[in-house]
Amino acid sequence: MNPIRKKRLSSILFVFLFSVSGVSLILYSLNSNLDYFFTPTELKKVQMPPNKRIKIGGMVLEDSVKRNTSKISFTITDYENSVIVVFEGIVPDLFKEGSGVVALGYLDNEIFYAKEVLAKHDENYMPPNLDIKQ
Amino acid sequence: MIKKFIHQFASPKTYLYQINRAYKYIFYSSLFIYTFSLIWGLLFTPEDFVQGNSFRIIYLHVPASFLSQSLYVAMAIASVTYLIWRVKLAAYLIIAIAPIGAMVTFIALSSGSIWGIPTWGTWWQWDARITSTLILFIMYLGLISLHTSFSNHEKADKLLSWLVIVGFVNIPIIKKSVDWWSTLHQSASITLTDRPSIDPSMLYPLIGSIIGFFGLIICLVIISSKVQIIKRESTKSWLKDYV
């Protein structure tokens, strides 16, 4: 490579390095603010102001879903800590016990009042018959 | 030998003649592969055990998402080539790829939204993966409008290349967003290190659809690069003979 091209290459690397370091500083300072939801364990660590709208996510604990007319209550867990969620409305089709869920709402006296419940799908794709085998 | 080949290929004229020869082979083979994989994936693959039939949109969503990032990588390689070696063809390729990248990213975003309604229960959420992909889409649009706003082509090419390099930082962010932060979007099913977490009966048509879609998009890039060459070299005498 001749010197001019070498110089161009180093300036490209320099610009790219600048862009990477700038963006990583931003991402580093935003840190957990970029998280889409809190896990129940994270929720326990931070002091959440009451009635602040947040999202919590985790798994629906087995045998925790209770339906009462249009009201539904269930427990979101990360298998360390868990939060009881109360929700009035229609849950997505993929909502079921033992699968991922994200709830949007606010925490009040250890009970989470959800305004919206979303199902979180995992990365596993398989036909139904294989599920029985496993 | 290799050096000579690259030098020849870097001239728009040789590129145009070579690409015309290869075009129909790429087009028909990738059209065949994509149609075959789609028929396989849509009709002969079992349903998913939780999602039912709606999982089948991955035969469009995954190829489009893969291409939206690959095309940006291709633009970045072309930008480096242009900035270091001042190869004009590389500059034509950057601006030829940008609109196709925008289109593919749009397909990825909209097919993801359509899948999100029955699966998540929402079509749009500001999680890290979706937002960073939206940024990629806006970046493509920004690059196109920047290039068209200059009357001096050479200046536009240089500025465009620099911006592509600056924006390249978004690509690893999109890729790793599902691992670095908690997101609504699931993490990758196919990785280089682990066994795919998608059943082989769904995986094989998926791989076929990625390859086929890739080839079809390459064909679009070829057409769009031809347009750029004809636009930019319109004063050259060889082009008059060609047309």
pLDDT digits (tens, 9 = 90+) for A74-97: 999 988 899 999 999 888 888 888
Q: Does A118 touch chain B (CB under 8 A)?
A: yes
Q: Chain A 68-97, CB below 8 Å of chain B: which residues?
A: 91-96
**CB spacing of A121 vs B128 below 8 angstroms:** no
**CB spacing of A12 vs B80 below 8 angstroms:** yes
A98 pLDDT higher than 80: yes
A102 pLDDT higher than 50: yes
- Residues in B closer than 8 angstroms to A32, CB to CB, are 181
Q: What is the pLDDT of residue B40?
A: 95
A36 pLDDT higher than 60: yes
Residue A39's CB is within 10 A of a number of other CB atoms, namely: 20
Residue of B nearest to A90 (CA): B121
What is the rounded average pLDDT of the residues A13-30? 93
Smallest Cβ–Cβ distance between A36 and the set B119, B127, B173 belongs to B127
What's the number of domains chain B is made of?
1
Confidence of residue B39 (pLDDT cuts 50, 70, 90): very high
Instruction: Please check whether residue B5 lies inside any domain of the structure.
Output: no
Confidence of residue A130 (pLDDT cuts 50, 70, 90): low
SS3 (DSSP) at B61: helix
**CB spacing of B173 vs A23 below 8 angstroms:** yes
User: Tokens for B184?
Assistant: 């609504």
Smallest Cβ–Cβ distance between B162 and the set A15, A93, A128 belongs to A15
Domain A35-120: state its class. Answer: mainly beta
Smallest Cβ–Cβ distance between B47 and the set A36, A95, A128 belongs to A128
The C-alpha angle with vertex B201 and arms to B199 and B202, in degrees rounded to 5, equals: 70
Confidence of residue B240 (pLDDT cuts 50, 70, 90): confident
**What is the rounded average pLDDT for all residues in chain A?**
87
B224 pLDDT higher than 80: yes
User: B61 Cβ partners below 8 Å, 6+ apart?
Assistant: B108, B111, B112, B115
B161-189 pLDDT, tens digit per residue, is 999 999 999 999 999 999 888 899 998 88
Q: What is the pLDDT of residue A12?
A: 94
Mutate to test the interface with B, among A4, A39, A123 (most CBs of B within 10 A): A123
What is the Cα–Cα distance from B62 to B151, expressed in whole angstroms? 37
Confidence of residue B238 (pLDDT cuts 50, 70, 90): confident
Instruction: Please check whether residue B237 lies inside any domain of the structure.
Output: yes
What is the Cα–Cα distance from B180 to B117, expressed in whole angstroms? 25
**What is the 8-class DSSP label of residue A54?**
E
Smallest Cβ–Cβ distance between A123 and the set B118, B167, B188 belongs to B188
SS3 (DSSP) at A61: coil
Cα diameter, chain B: 62
User: B43 Cβ partners below 8 Å, 6+ apart?
Assistant: none
- Residues in A closer than 8 angstroms to B187, CB to CB, are 122-123
C-beta of residue B242 within 8 angstroms of C-beta of residue B16: yes
B64: containing domain: 12-188+199-242
Instruction: Please check whether residue B27 lies inside any domain of the structure.
Output: yes
The predicted model scores a pTM of 0.92
